[in-house]
Structure 1
Amino acid sequence: MHTKNSLIKDIEQAGIRKNGTLLIHSSMKAVGVVEGGADTVLDAFIEYMKEGLLLFPTHSWSDKNLRNDIYDPKTEPSCVGVLPNLFMKREGAIRSMHPTHSVTAMGDRAQAYVLRDREVHTPCPRNGCFGGLYDEEAQLLFLGATLKTNTFIHSIEEWLNVPDRINPQSRKIKLQLENGDTQEIDYNGHYSTRGDVSKNYDKLLLPMLQMGIAKEVKIGDAVSYVVEVRPMTDWVVGLLKEKPSLFDDGKPIE
């Protein structure tokens, strides 16, 4: 059985920078049996990253989310797993105002960081919280998760205006503000005639492992991957400029 201390040891051995910025895509099931369950997993990461900035995606893009087209960061459930839903309820955790692709942050810089999502009208704009990961020279941890969950690639495609990624039809969403007021925005979400292109993002893994941009680690029972955001971005930008349709299919990168 894994414990908080054993998980902290695994996190340290994974090469995660404790005073850096870390965003975690997660599968709690993959971590295995943990004394204290999912809360202990969060305890381990929160303690390890106490001098840095810890982020979980707390997305709410599913068909079951945003009932009546209202986003309230205090009550809207996340559609991306157990750990994000527990993390956003922790004391000191601050959720961003993005209606579909929010992040929840913890750390001394959390409040300032989530303000990047103050004015968003698309899933992953350059000036938003996902864009900020590049500026932060952040690390991504895929904790028992595949790179199909790599939201940051959506970001790069959006910044480069890759065709057939953003829905040309907008919807009106009301944001529930902390002061009790609401703010209505026009929002253009993800859409592609190719379907869910994120299922093809995992073809990046093998080349990134070979180049040292990513490395395979184990945390608890979870086979996981630590990815450096800045070199990944610089490489993928070059690929997409040469071939914007790169992720339209699952063909390996040549």
Structure 2
Amino acid sequence: MDQKSVLFTQLADMGLSGNETVLIHSSYKSMGPIEGGPEAVLDYLMEYFADGLLVLPTHTWAYIHAKNPEFHVASSPTNVGILTELFRQREGVYRSYHPTHSVAAFGKDAATFVEGAEQFDTPCARGSAWGKLLDREAKILLVGVDLRRNTFIHGIEEWVDIPGRITDTQEELYVVRPDGTRISVPSRRHTPTSWSEHFWKVDEVLQETGAMWLGKLGEAEVRICDTVRLTEVLTEMLEAYPDLFSDNEPLREDQRHFFREEGNKEDTVKK
């Protein structure tokens, strides 16, 4: 098979038909040699998901802040990889107006999907693109990266209202639209502690509960997350253990067996 056919087969093997809404976090280098480079990868992804919605993060949180407050939708580069930077510049791709946690989308309802990000003052508000992923029952592909790069989990923590994750005060940030108009978007930020570096600890639980499974894309290992099941599992765990991601230690035994215990309780009730 040629390279495109191999990648398309791998996507199909992940359970993806091409009609879905899919968000992709990626390490391009992890895919191994790709003839045509990152542009070819984007060509293949945009073709495969032509009847769905393809979304990539185009974050700028690393350099948009109080001392450098202007996010230019049309020109501010991403800080999350080469595929995201090239994707945002492509014809037919729409970028959201969030100053630090924007996304870019291509395909079905792309323009509508990215609308409204500037209305919220948090990184992953339920009404933003991050919440819309859940509404659309999207899949998240972690290509050559692990759960520590899954921004959607920040969203779940935000929606459950885990304390200490977002600053109490706002920064005065601004969005410069493609037409040059400038709007104020006061924004709260993730607190300095790198909570996402602790997300790895639920890897096994997510696989065991069917919220995540593994695949391949090129030479890269891919974690495929179902946003609905992922939200169900982590919401239950965070409500029971608000400190779940507060340290970088493996899960405690009670946390590891949480869903088995819950299942046993349900079986006992049914009997």
1:87 matched to 2:76? The reply is no
Structure 1 residue aligned with 2:225: 227
1:68 matched to 2:75? The reply is no
Deviation at 1:169, TM superposition (A): 2.5
Larger radius of gyration: 2
- For residues 4-58 of structure 1, the C-alpha deviation after alignment (integer angstroms, 9 at most, x for no partner) is 2321221111212311100000000100000101111111111110000000011
Relative to the length of structure 2, the TM-score reads 0.89
Deviation at 1:158, TM superposition (A): 0.8
- Partner Cα distance (1:80, 1:31) in 2: 16
Structure 1 residue aligned with 2:208: 210
Please give the residue correspondences for 1:64-213 in structure 2 after superposition, counting only pairs within 5 Å.
68-192=68-192, 195-213=193-211
Preserved contact between residue 2 and residue 33 of structure 1 (Cα < 8 Å): no
- For residues 173-232 of structure 1, the C-alpha deviation after alignment (integer angstroms, 9 at most, x for no partner) is 11112332211121111105xx20101111121111122221111110001111100011
What residue identity is the alignment partner of 1:42? Answer: L
Over 3 Å counting, the alpha-carbon distance change for 1:160 and 1:64 in structure 2 is: closer
Structure 1: stretches of 5+ with no match in the other structure: none
Preserved contact between residue 58 and residue 79 of structure 1 (Cα < 8 Å): yes
Structure 2 residue aligned with 1:18: 18
Over 3 Å counting, the alpha-carbon distance change for 1:2 and 1:122 in structure 2 is: farther
Preserved contact between residue 65 and residue 171 of structure 2 (Cα < 8 Å): no
Relative to the length of structure 1, the TM-score reads 0.94
Structure 2: stretches of 5+ with no match in the other structure: 257-271
SS across alignment from 2:119: coil
- Partner Cα distance (1:169, 1:81) in 2: 29
What residue identity is the alignment partner of 1:212? Answer: G
Structure 2 residue aligned with 1:236: 234
SS across alignment from 1:209: helix
- For residues 41-82 of structure 1, the C-alpha deviation after alignment (integer angstroms, 9 at most, x for no partner) is 111111110000000011000037787310111111100001
Deviation at 1:2, TM superposition (A): 7.3
Greater alpha carbon shift after TM alignment, 3-12 vs 85-94: 3-12
- Partner Cα distance (1:94, 1:63) in 2: 21
Preserved contact between residue 172 and residue 185 of structure 1 (Cα < 8 Å): yes
Greater alpha carbon shift after TM alignment, 152-161 vs 96-105: 152-161
How many residue pairs are counted as aligned between the two chains?
A: 252
What residue identity is the alignment partner of 2:51? Answer: E
Deviation at 1:3, TM superposition (A): 2.1
What residue identity is the alignment partner of 1:15? Answer: G
- Partner Cα distance (2:219, 2:191) in 1: 35
Deviation at 1:122, TM superposition (A): 0.8
Greater alpha carbon shift after TM alignment, 11-20 vs 42-51: 11-20
Structure 2 residue aligned with 1:35: 35
